Amino acid sequence: AQIINRPKQGFPIPIDRWLRAEASPLMQEMLCQKVIESRGLLNAKYVEQLVAQHLRGYADHSTQLWGLISLEMWFQRFIDSSSPAPSPRNGSIPAGELPC
């Protein structure tokens, strides 16, 4: 009864680890200097520092980086393209023409 009636609990997901391993190529593609500069909204050098520090394990910037990746995906989906659900490779930048 104690387990069944307890309040809901979230569970942590290892975003920090994912961004250093499996999702590292996605992060580096979505947050490369040319992509960030093309938006004209963020300081590309600062974002580059966040990515580098995170990848080297100097700091855990996973929350900020995940937010920036999500923002770039949102831009690609809703601002750059009218096609449904673009992937990172077919959003704002034509395939084969990735700037990074």
Residue 74 has pLDDT above 90, yes or no: yes
Q: How confident is the model at residue 81 (pLDDT cuts 50, 70, 90)?
A: confident
pLDDT, residue 43, reads 97
pLDDT, residue 69, reads 98
Structure tokens at 77: 């989906």
The whole-model pTM stands at 0.75
Structure tokens at 78: 């809703």
Residues 79/40, Cβ–Cβ less than 8 Å: no
Q: How confident is the model at residue 82 (pLDDT cuts 50, 70, 90)?
A: low
Task: Read off the pLDDT of each residue in 13-24 and give the average, rounded to a whole number.
Answer: 96
